[in-house]
Amino acid sequence: MSHKQTPSQTVGPYFAYGLTPGQYNYRFAEVASGSMADDKVAGEHIRIIGQVLDGEGVPINDAMIELWQADATGRYAGDSDVRANTGFSGFGRFGTGTDEENRFIFDTVKPGSVENGAAPHVSIIVFMRGMLTHAYTRAYFSDEVEANANDPVLSSVPEGRRETLVAMRNEEDGNVTYRFDIHMQGDAETVFFDV
């Protein structure tokens, strides 16, 4: 018997106390936050940071970003990856309403390459008021030039748009930050995939 997919609807402006309650100071335990990796997690500790910008370049203050990634050895947590061997959950959530610049901020580790030929990357799901269906994209890393050049997904993207998928590395005082802004529209519109 075939069943039809339940339609998507917007996350709306009031998701915070249900989905990111700790970040927004609501008294409800949360299942995920922007703090994805404590000191015990192996790998290069990095911060991924960025804004979500609307068609006029204005930072959006009621978006929610979800991030999913492999650990530093390229393995995903959970049952679907039979190689999984790690305590790293690989999943983070952050709303853009608490930072004064409306940024999302994930403290995590840099993922390893998951499969032969695939460059390290994180999966990103974008929700917001004003979007009835979520959007899916990936962030690659600017210091992985050779791996990026060989990545099958990145290579399938029109050349002029690939840079929208590359997070820019910055090192300061020993802290590694990658900047990844998400442009919903315009000339620099981020590549979103039909996942």
Binding site for Fe ion (CB under 5 A): 12
Rounded least distance, CB 175 to other proteins, Å: 26
CB closer to Fe ion out of 9 and 116: 9
Residue 11 binding: pick among Fe ion, other proteins, none (C-beta 5-8 Å cut-off by kind)? other proteins
| Range 147-186, binding other proteins (CB under 8 A) | 152-153, 156-158, 161, 184-185
Rounded least distance, CB 48 to other proteins, Å: 15
Q: Is 188 in the site for other proteins (CB under 8 A)?
A: no
CB closer to other proteins out of 31 and 145: 31
Token pair, residue 49, equals 């940071």
Residues constituting the chain = 195
Among 46, 62, 71, 96, binds other proteins (CB under 8 A): 62
Kindly write out the interface string for residues 109-138 of this chain, putting x where it contacts other proteins by CB under 8 A and - elsewhere. -----xx--x--x-x-x-xxxxxxxxxx-x
Token pair, residue 76, equals 């995903």
Rounded least distance, CB 95 to other proteins, Å: 11
Residues 6+ apart with CB under 8 A from 101: 51, 59
Could you give the CA distance from residue 84 to residue 70 in angstroms, rounded to a whole number?
9
Q: Is 159 helix (H, G, I), strand (E, B) or coil?
A: helix
Q: Is 36 in the site for other proteins (CB under 8 A)?
A: no
Q: Is 48 helix (H, G, I), strand (E, B) or coil?
A: strand
Rounded least distance, CB 133 to Fe ion, Å: 16
Whose CB is nearest to Fe ion? Answer: 12
Residue type, 94: F
Could you give the CA distance from residue 16 to residue 157 in angstroms, rounded to a whole number?
33
Rounded least distance, CB 173 to other proteins, Å: 31
Could you give the CA distance from residue 183 to residue 51 in angstroms, rounded to a whole number?
8
Specify burial of residue 73 (Cβ count, 10 A radius: 0-12, 13-18, 19+).
middle
Could you give the CA distance from residue 126 to residue 137 in angstroms, rounded to a whole number?
8
CB closer to Fe ion out of 15 and 140: 15
